[in-house]
Amino acid sequence: MNNIGLIIKREYSTRVKKKSFIIMSILGPLLIVGFLAFTVYLTKNNNSSYEILVVDEAQLFEGKLRNNEKYHLEWSPIDKSYEQVQEIFKSNEKLNLLLYLPSNLIQTNSMTAKCLYKTIPSTSAQKHLTSIINEAIELYRIEKIGIEEEKYRSIKTRVNLDVIDIENAENKNIQRKAYVGYIFAFIIYIFIFMYAIQVMKGVIEEKTNRIVEVIISSVKSFHLMMGKIIGIGLVGLTQFLIWITVISTLSFAILFANFPEKYSIENQIQTDNIIENSNLLTNNNEKIDEITQFVLYQIDWGNMFLFFAIYFIGGYLIYGSLMAAIGSAVNEETDTQQFMIPLTIPLIFSLSMIPQVIDNPSSNIAFWLSEIPFTSPLIMMVRIAMGIGEGGVELWEIFLSIFLLIITFIICTYISGKIYKTGILLYGKKPSYRDIYKWIKT
């Protein structure tokens, strides 16, 4: 066992000393923070406005469609037909959209208006247009019945639905928490991939260097494989710790630089009160403020890091050991493709299933994907972020998935150990799946 320690130490220290590790430790967090800042900046500055040409066949909506600085409406000449207006729309570069309101629009409750575009309008623009048309129709109708607009405005409501777990009223903001889970799942995905592939590369390196025979004359091949997997896994955890430290320092520095008075310790109590009232805030700056409040006080970072460590280690050990087997079976990296595909598919699949899991975290598919060991590291991370305990993911589900992860890891390392033992000493022909099956059997 002393020897496996030596191997772990070598794998760890040679990698941590590498330039690429140091660069990744600094660049990774910078990229993440930069990317987040960039998206915030983009959403904040999404000020593209629309020049909209309206064809109002029944001539009923003028003055009723709300105009504002983002959506600038222009009424088409009455004497032109719809077809002629289309020509005008095409030839005028300034115009972005053509809104066609057919004359029968007000007659029933489910008619279709048309919106012709040159470049497709954003979903929020489409929503906005639908809502102002609905409003215009309503205004037209109340006028007909003889209700004053003022009265109409007074009965018009805009309700926010706060979805709250009866057993756990604290568990609010589920969707936002889900996105935090998404980010964690994504980091797990990157880390599993990055470090499992390093295991494979390390094995191929030792095999092509031909040093492997010297080493396995001193240690058991299984110890060499495990030492490598554990050593590289520790590098991954180190990297993650550095990232967390750098990211939180950076974020805190940015927050503190922007709102120095809010984040001093004396004002901590005061800030808690602000969260309580945060639902009422709509102003843009205050909205960002609300997000930082959410990030700082509503996410259980302790749990997130703990489960990140567990699911990263579990997933990494499974994928890492299988990658070690692949590395031992081939002679050079270009031969690995064929064997890597079955491993990458479940990872990419789980990543692509996350939106569905966020949409309904207690669905059957969410349950199974968070239990199956090849997908659970990513999916369970999302479910955990959305809340543990009553209403959220149950503790027994977490324990079961961890248990399955461990069982699978043991089976995978057992099989990989067998492949590794034979593969590492064979040079020449690239083995087929059948050859590998035979290695496992012997």
Partner 1 sequence: MPRKNIIELIGINKSYQNYKALNNLNLKIPKGKIFGLLGPNGAGKTTLIRILNQILIPDSGQVLFNGETLSQKNIIDIGYLPEERGLYRKMKIGEQAIYLARLKGLSKKEAKEKLDFWFDKFEISHWWNKKIEDLSKGMAQKIQFIVTILHEPDLLILDEPFSGLDPVNSKLIKKEIIELKKKKTTIILSTHDMNSVEEICDEAAIIHHSNKILEGKVSDLKTRFQNNEWKISYKGSSMAFSNAIWGGWKLISHGSNDDINTAIIELNDSLTMNDFLKGIIEKISIIEVSKNIPTMQDVFLKATTNE
- Number of helices and strands in the chain (H, E): 16, 4
Give 62 or 213: the residue with its C-beta nearer to partner 1: 213
Question: How many CB atoms neighbour CB 190 within 10 A?
Answer: 11
Nearest residue (CB) to partner 1, 14 versus 46: 14
Q: Provide the minimum distance between the beta carbon of 191 and partner 1 in the complex, in angstroms, as a whole number.
A: 23
Which contiguous run of DSSP H or E holds residue 6?
helix 2-16
Q: Minimal distance in Å, beta carbon 273 to partner 1?
A: 57
Closest CA to 218 of 431, 436, 10: 10
Closer by beta carbon to partner 1, 206 or else 371: 206
Buried b or exposed e, range 200-211, using 16+ CB within 10 angstroms: bebbbebbeeee
Cβ distance to partner 1 smaller for residue 215 or 250: 215
CA 415, chain centre distance (Å): 32
First to last CA, the chain: 25
- Nearest to partner 1 of 7, 235 (CB atom): 7
Shortest Cβ 198–partner 1 spacing (Å): 14
- DSSP assignment string, 253-307: HHHHHH-TTTTSGGGHHHHHHHHHTGGG--SHHHHHHHHHHHHHHTS-HHHHHHH
Distance (Å, rounded) from C-alpha 294 to C-alpha 288?
10
Shortest gap between Cβ of 430 and partner 1 (angstroms)?
Answer: 16
Residue nearer to partner 1 on the CB measure, 10 or 151:
10
Task: Quickly tell me which residue has 């899991």 as its tokens.
Answer: 357
Strands 114-117 and 97-101, sheet pairing: antiparallel
Picking from 390, 383, 247, the residue whose alpha carbon sits closest to that of residue 311 is 383
- Least distance from C-beta 207 to partner 1, angstroms? 10
User: Toward partner 1, which CB reaches closer, 65 or 200?
Assistant: 200
Q: Smallest distance, Å, CB 8 to partner 1? A: 12
Q: Left (φ > 0), alpha (ψ -120 to 50) or beta: where does 146 sit? A: left
Residues lying near partner 1 in the complex (CB under 8 A) are found at 3, 6-7, 10, 14, 205-206, 209-211, 213-221, 425, 427, 438, 442
Q: Which is nearer to partner 1, 107 or 209 (CB)?
A: 209
Evaluate whether 29 touches 243 at the Cβ level (below 8 Å): yes
**Cβ within 8 Å of residue 320, ≥6 positions away:** 195, 196, 199, 229, 232, 233
CB of 211 to partner 1, least distance (A): 5
308 neighbors 384 (Cβ within 8 angstroms): no
Q: Shortest distance, CB of residue 282 to partner 1, whole angstroms? A: 57
